[in-house]
Amino acid sequence: MIKETISPFHLAIPVHNLSECRTFYRDVLGCDEGRSCDHWVDFNFFGHQLVIHYKPKEESRDLHTNPVDGKSVPVPHFGVVLSWDIFHAFAEDLKSKHIKFIIEPYTRFEGLVGEQATMFFYDPSGNALEFKAFKDITQLFAK
């Protein structure tokens, strides 16, 4: 596998209400808006390129979860690893904005390899997001 320094990723996700999701990513999560047109919007998602693309709402969407640390983690999901202090400040900001969490901010794997703070919530189109932080970032890929 080719190894290199951390580079920004590009992720494009479907949303059924472009206006509502644009407001969510810009005003709730605080992401700077980039280029856009009538069916997609670019965001600076914590240094990465996130693009929300309009897609008509599906009649039904199967929700799948996997058990992790006694919680039901939604699959699929995406997010960012933040520093410990930024994570906790961000979690408090989201609470003040009355975000409905799937999994409230808490510390997972406490005292074990990979100890991390984590939280999960949905965007307005039902895309699951996870934000996490490691007390010791060198354990990001530890076994």
43-76 pLDDT, tens digit per residue, is 999 999 999 999 998 877 678 999 988 899 999 9
Read off the tokens for 9: 């990723």
Which domains are delineated in the chain?
1-56 (3.10.180.10), 65-143 (3.10.180.10)
Residues 92-128 pLDDT 10s? 999 999 999 999 999 999 999 989 999 999 999 999 9
Q: Residue 3, exposed/middle/buried by CB under 10 A (0-12, 13-18, 19+)?
A: exposed
Q: Which CA distances in Å does 62 have to 30, 92, 133?
A: 29, 30, 29
pTM, to two decimals: 0.90
